[in-house]
């Protein structure tokens, strides 16, 4: 599902479905969910797409978790028009919407940007490790419990390549953060 002129993976009018273990790179939209309530989007890699990583339109009660959303020109996750009561947690957002104020967008109501049971949010590469993480959009949503480290999903044999790739991509970022923290303490 790479190098398409439009959408890598498209789900329409398919409530209760699961979109998982996909690599969707270099498309306009990586994963597009339309009118598909109670669906799960998990363990996907969405890199270098022209617009958004995961786009929900008119889809309620969905769970988006353990996805890598990296270097998408638009937002990592975009919730629009009647996409309410969704839970977005344990995703890794790295350098999406560069130049913007947030890596995600929420124009809907009652969406949670963290797991309500464990109070674990998402990893945001641009989070300053102070307070919550603001989400763009009219909903004025926030991730109340941003994570300090990227989330690596399932480690079964098919996922080991993803885990290794994620470590290679994220390690320099984490090392820089540690050095900056130590430098601040010394000052």
Is the Cβ–Cβ distance between 121 and 89 less than 8 Å?
Answer: yes
Confidence (pLDDT) at 26: 85
Across the range 132-145, mean pLDDT stands at 98
Residue 10: which pLDDT band, with cuts at 50, 70 and 90? Answer: confident
% of residues, the chain, pLDDT over 90: 70
Indicate whether 93 pLDDT > 90: yes
Q: What is the phi-psi region of residue 176: left when phi exceeds 0, alpha when psi lies from -120 to 50, beta otherwise?
A: alpha
% of residues, the chain, pLDDT over 70: 78
Confidence (pLDDT) at 160: 42
Pick 38 or 6 by higher pLDDT.
38
Which tokens hold the place of 91?
């995703």
Q: Is the pTM of this model over 0.85?
A: no
Question: Any residues with CB less than 8 A from the CB of 90 and at least 6 apart, and which?
Answer: 65, 66, 115, 120, 121, 122, 147, 151, 153
Domain range list for the chain: 7-154
Question: How do beta strands 133-134 and 142-143 pair?
Answer: antiparallel
Integer CA distances (angstroms), 161 to 58, 146, 153, 155, in order: 33, 25, 11, 9
Indicate whether 132 pLDDT > 90: yes
Q: In 3D, which of 113, 104, 107, 109 has the Cα closest to residue 138?
A: 107
Average pLDDT, rounded, for the chain: 86
Pick 153 or 97 by higher pLDDT.
97
Confidence (pLDDT) at 73: 96
Across the range 3-25, mean pLDDT stands at 85
What is the tens place of the pLDDT at every residue in 54-65?
999 999 999 999
Indicate whether 158 pLDDT > 50: no
Look at 52-56, 103-107, 125-129, 183-187 and tell me which has the smallest mean pLDDT.
Answer: 183-187
């Amino acid at each position: 599902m790479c190098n398409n002129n439009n959408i890598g993976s498209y789900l329409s009018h398919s409530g209760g479905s699961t979109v998982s273990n996909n690599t969707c790179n270099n498309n306009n939209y990586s994963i597009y969910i339309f009118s598909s309530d109670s669906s799960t989007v998990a363990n996907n890699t969405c890199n270098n797409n022209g617009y958004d990583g995961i786009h929900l339109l008119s889809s309620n009660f969905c769970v988006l978790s353990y996805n890598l959303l990296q270097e998408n020109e638009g937002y990592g996750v975009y919730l629009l028009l009647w996409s309410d009561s969704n839970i977005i947690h344990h995703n890794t957002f790295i350098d999406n919407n560069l130049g913007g104020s947030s890596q995600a967008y929420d124009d809907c109501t009652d969406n949670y940007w963290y797991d309500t049971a464990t109070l674990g949010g998402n990893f945001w590469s641009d989070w300053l490790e102070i307070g919550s993480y603001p989400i763009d959009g009219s909903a004025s949503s926030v991730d109340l419990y941003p994570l300090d480290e990227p989330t690596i999903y399932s480690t079964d044999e098919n996922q080991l390549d993803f885990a290794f790739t994620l470590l290679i991509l994220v390690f320099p970022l984490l090392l820089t953060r540690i050095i900056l923290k130590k430098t601040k303490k010394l000052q």
